[in-house]
Structure 1
Amino acid sequence: MLYMLGTLAVDTRPFSIDKFDRQASADIASKGLMGAFPGKEFGGEGDDEITLSGRLLPTKIGGLDELEIVHEMRRTGTRFPVQRGDGKRLGWFAITRVSEGHTEILRDGVGFVVEHSISMTRVQPDTGAGQQIISGLLSLFGAGR
């Protein structure tokens, strides 16, 4: 496993990524001082954004179903924990943008290669997340319908 986005596993197949970008900031307030350089004060943690990018080969190994799950997570504003493959928890995130590009379009209208990018921003943990994760796990095994 490369990453876990809530209950969605991002692995080397069928739904993979090959690039990880993270931009995090801190809020620094500037205070004007008479006759001196403005004072700076740490105001807290700023935005924390992650972008995962990769390529799918839907006709060879799949991945479009997982990409549709990502779109559904974006549409519903789902908040979920993100965990790296080595077990490091990166925090709670929500998807802000999903882009996909199909190349070498086949007869069914799907590209032989599908490049995708998932942009997420850090959010406060969802208070009802335990139930969502349990429901997600049950849906993986076809239970709880």
Structure 2
Amino acid sequence: MMMTLGMFVFETQSLPYQQLQRATQWRHPSQARVGQRPAYQFTGPGEDTIQLSGTLYPELTGGRMTLDDVRIMADEGKAWPLIEGSGRVYGFWSITSVTETSTVFFSDGTPRKIEFSISLIRVDDSNFQDFRDQAANNQDAAIGLGLYQPRRNGGGGSLA
């Protein structure tokens, strides 16, 4: 597993991305001043976007139906947790666009090569805190049932 967005799993057999590009902004609005340069004030985080792009070869990986699954998720307009295969949690993200370019076709018009790009935008962190709390509660419950063994050095753990 490379990454999950909600229940959608990015993996080499489904939708393997070859590039992940992230752009994070911070807000510094200006205030004009007479005879001086503008004054700037830091007002907090701005937009945080991720673009996943890659190439599909439907004979080996996912194809148009896989991209349609992502479009169905986007149609719902929801924010989804984005979690890397390493366990890194990026927060909650919404799908803002899906683009695809099909080339090299079979005689029936089915593409043999599909280049794609999926754009995501980070949304309110309040959902992320709820998600983090729920994960901590689930971990506590698993420890209580003897299903999870925390590591002694404080990092991660393993299922019993």
The question of a shared fold, defined as TM-score above 0.5 by the shorter chain, is answered with yes
The number of residue pairs the alignment matches comes to 129
Kept in 2, the 8 Å contact 1:100–1:115? The answer is: yes
Larger Rg: 2
Structure 2: how far apart are the matches of 1:125 and 1:30?
26
Query: Does residue 1:70 correspond to 2:70, yes or no?
Result: yes
TM-score normalised over the length of structure 1: 0.79
Matched with 1:48 is 48
Kept in 2, the 8 Å contact 1:81–1:91? The answer is: yes
Kept in 2, the 8 Å contact 1:8–1:66? The answer is: no
Percent sequence identity over aligned pairs? 32
Q: Which has the higher contact order (CA 8 A, sep 6+)?
A: 1
Structure 1: how far apart are the matches of 2:108 and 2:125?
40
Shift of 1:102: 0.8
Matched with 1:38 is 38
Structure 1: how far apart are the matches of 2:43 and 2:119?
25
User: Tell me, which stretches of 5 or more residues in structure 1 are unaligned?
Assistant: 131-145
TM-score normalised over the length of structure 2: 0.72
Give the residue type in structure 2 aligned to 1:122: R
Matched with 2:112 is 112
Kept in 1, the 8 Å contact 2:12–2:61? The answer is: no
Instruction: Provide closer, same or farther for how the CA distance between residues 126 and 64 of structure 1 changes in structure 2, counting only shifts above 3 A.
Output: farther
Shift of 1:73: 1.3
